[in-house]
Structure 1
């Protein structure tokens, strides 16, 4: 830990000495409640806990650019997420969210390193801004992943349109497919309209979809390694922003009879009551084949800005599961028993710097 602290202090010192380097971050914490959480004894009970990242990930980052001339720039970004309630990082890596370097110019940008996986662009389609009760909830975090060994290219914007292409190398001898991730994200923007399409592939250790094992020895599911399609858009009318989205998951290599297809739908709205207060409302539905069941998720929330950097937030939701489904109201492992419904709520403070 001393070595890590020393490295961060060194970067901070460099940032003060170089105007092209910026330190940024966010600290988010509060309190969280969920009902009907399944217990080890086969029962269920309510759970009260501190909320570390329910509204948004706490993080610290360092970014910088250098003008190389002729319209070409070099850039880097180092970013680590953490849980403010425990002071622990979100994973064992020093920079567990992003650590990349690249070049940008008139032909677009090229990045090498670690980044969020390309389906994180669902953030732009999420009425909640990817809160714990949001687009990741009913797909068990499938659209909320990171990616190592990334090569990423983003085009310039032409007439409101741009595209991003990403591959994350699996680094497995004898195969270019095993554990590899690939994806493309397309966006079109015109005044208040924004349309997005994302398609990606997450392969397992066999280069397939749902046939491998997780690190804990359990078998992959359609929510772990699969083919994913996301379509959606937003439209802003004065103080009102509308959201509509669809997500499809397919894992053709899962064990026979296991769920291999998921359809996820949502719609929602943000309304800016005052410059400081924004109200949030959204509805999500998921259908899983082969006995996976279905669920409806309802969320309401509010953000209140005390300043440009400090925000108060509250969110509440309920998930209504079918008899064979056990989806949580939040994007967490605190699932109810199959067929049980679950309610949840959280509130807290987020400060950005």
Structure 2
């Protein structure tokens, strides 16, 4: 009897040790707000006001699972699965039929971490997502996306079939490489993508530099509104009909942030080139000559520069005042001159606890010689739009 009790105690000790060496965490965000927009396109060149209940005003609503297992010798196995959902409808998050049915469309990775850094395989965002902490994305989230961040991908590009390597922190520096396999037989470059980034953290100073490139997969034109033509990136892509393997998208991001006491100030610049957005390709898919403002959209820009400045001022540990300005200059094949988009934002963020906050945003967006993409919904024409959001976000 004593031997049996001893054996059970030993087994219990080993089980406890094994359990202590591995862990799984369930986490998530539920973010929902009431949004008002003026001059939303209603069809036929007309516009009207719109009230809506939007999920993910600041951050996309999500639920995730992440875990780590200690393999010994400083080596760990890691995984992360993250599903997005629309809190206003309860449905899976996705901008088109291809992604709305993907359970873990936000992230699905497994890999190893240790003294050498971290290697991850699966569907994951590139390093732009990491350095976005130095931009308006940290405070306004998706509220500032349509004027340029959705084009310069400051929240990262979800890349299918990818492998990434991230260094550990080296005297403030962290680097990253990512490669997405096109997985096309006989044409390695079709749908291929790759990127490289680095960030530097030193007390109040944060700097980041990132590059991302994707290549055409050769599929037909997609009518969705996303921007990056490559099957290896997020499935929400604008796959203009081009030769498989030709460069479709190239983007540079340079960002910086500095904390002056209670105030964080930041600025960034991005250069985007979409090489497949040519007159010939657009005509081939029935778009026609780009000689009217209604055809000048960011998705069809062959080159764009996106600029941003902003600040976040902490009146108290719980209350922040926010302000940011984004300005995009875009050019189009077959059109003289550049289109311009500018968005002015002010807001406040009040934390009721460490996990729950209330936010209120106000934005004014103006388009010149191109379509005004609006804060959430396009106006369909150039001109201006005002938008207001009031919402709640809970993290668990």
Is this a same-fold pair by TM over 0.5? yes
In 2: Cα distance, 1:301 partner to 1:232 partner: 21
For residues 1-353 of structure 1, the aligned pairs below 5 Å read: 20-90=23-93, 91-129=100-138, 131-135=141-145, 137-143=147-153, 144=155, 145-206=157-218, 213-216=220-223, 224=238, 225-256=248-279, 259-290=301-332, 291=335, 293-322=339-368, 324-330=369-375, 332=376, 334-353=377-396
User: Quick check: 1:221–1:254 contact (8 Å CA) kept in 2?
Assistant: no
Deviates further, 224-233 or 263-272: 224-233
Contact persistence 2:118–2:165 (CA under 8 A): yes
Deviation at 1:149, TM superposition (A): 0.8
Stretches of structure 2 that go unaligned for 5 or more consecutive residues are: 1-18, 94-99, 230-236, 239-247, 280-289, 291-299
Q: In structure 2, do the counterparts of structure 1 residues 216 and 339 end up closer, same or farther at CA, with 3 Å as the change threshold? A: closer
Report how far residue 140 of structure 1 moved: 4.1
Which is worse superposed, 141-150 or 32-41?
141-150
SS at match of 2:133: helix
Q: Structure 1 residues 220-229 or 50-59, which shifts more?
A: 220-229
Contact (CA 8 Å) 2:67, 2:80: kept in 1 or not?
yes
CA distance in 2, matches of 1:112, 1:267: 34
Q: Please say if residues 131 and 199 of structure 2, whose CA atoms lie closer than 8 Å, have aligned partners that are also in contact.
A: no
What is the alpha-carbon root mean square deviation over aligned residues? Answer: 2.3
Change beyond 3 A, Cα 1:176–1:163: same
* 1:271 match: secondary structure: strand
- Cα distance between partner residues in 2 of 1:20 and 1:219: 37
TM-aligned CA deviation for residue 132 of structure 1: 2.6
- How much has 1:135 moved relative to structure 2? 4.6
Partner residue of 2:11?
A: none
Distance 1:42 1:204, change over 3 A: same
Give the match for residue 8 of structure 1.
none
Cα pair 1:108 1:154 within 8 Å, conserved: yes
- How far is 1:34 from its partner? 1.0
Instruction: Flag the structure with higher helix content.
Output: 2
2 CA distance for matches of 1:46 and 1:104?
50
Measure the CA separation in 2 of the matches of 1:121 and 1:214. Answer: 31
Q: 1:24 to 1:221 in 2, by over 3 A?
A: closer
Q: How many residues align?
A: 329
Cα separation, partners in 2 of 1:193 and 1:136, compared to 1, 3 Å: farther
Distance 1:219 1:73 in 2: 36
Offset at 1:218?
9.4
Partner of 2:286: none
Query: TM-score of the superposition, structure 1-length normalised?
Result: 0.87
**Contact map agreement 1:233 1:245 (CA 8 A) in 2:** yes
Aligned counterparts of 1:63 and 1:215: Cα–Cα separation in 2: 33
Task: Flag the 1:123–1:29 CA change in 2: closer, same or farther, 3 A.
Answer: same
TM-score of the superposition, structure 2-length normalised? 0.78
- Structure 2 vs 1, CA of residues 65 and 50 (structure 1 numbering), >3 Å: closer, same or farther? same
Q: Distance in 2 between matches of 1:221 and 1:99?
A: 20
Question: What is the Cα deviation at residue 221 of structure 1?
Answer: 7.5
- Cα displacement (A) at 1:220: 7.2
